[in-house]
Structures are given as structure tokens and as C-alpha cells.
Amino acid sequence: MDAPAPMIEIIDDISPRPIMIVGGGQAFPLIGSEGERMVPRYAQYAGSNAQTWVIPEATHCDGPARRPDEYAGRMIEFFDTTFGIQ
């Protein structure tokens, strides 16, 4: 299986659709800490419909484990707003 294209190369294809970009603030082996460095960069490429959230104590994919209630709440709010559910 081929590796997917780098996010920075395809993220502007999502625009103008809303996108939620979540990153961790802690270093992760082979990836590093993408939170402070990459999340703002992704948002810049994604456009004005991008929302961002860096979870300082999370690594690459463990945001839901670090802040389960807040993560769920933010995702539900994002999808409700995006799909006009409220």
C-alpha cells in the first residue's frame, strides 16, 4: 500500500468545506510535536473554514484519551454546526 500524500499537499483541496484540525503538543517518536508547528500551518492552507485545537498534553493521536469529554464535546459541536443540526 502506498503512503498517503502529505497533508500539507492536499489540505487546500478540502476548502471551502469546514475542517477541524486537532494536534498534540507533546513529541511523538518519528513525528515530533506537530501541535505548535503544523496545526497553524495546516490551517493557513485549509482556509477560513478551518478550526484548530492543540491539546498540550497529547501526542499525535491520543487527544481523545487525554481529554475525552472535551474532545467529544468539541467534535459534536463542530459537526452540529457544520451540518446545521442545532
Place of cell 486537532: 22
Structure confidence by residue, pLDDT tens digits, 30-86: 655 666 778 888 888 888 899 999 999 998 788 999 999 999 999 999 999 999 986
Confidence tier at 14 by pLDDT (50, 70, 90): confident
Domain boundaries along the sequence of the chain: 7-82
Residue whose C-alpha is closest to residue 7's, from 36, 46, 37: 46
User: Is the pTM for the entire model greater than 0.85?
Assistant: no
Q: Residues 6 or more apart from 66 whose CB is under 8 A from it?
A: 55, 57, 58
pLDDT of residue 19: 94
pLDDT of residue 16: 86
As given in the structure block, the three cell numbers for residue 65 are 484519551
Q: Residues 6 or more apart from 75 whose CB is under 8 A from it?
A: 20
pLDDT of residue 2: 93
CA–CA distance, 74 with 60 (Å, rounded to integer): 18
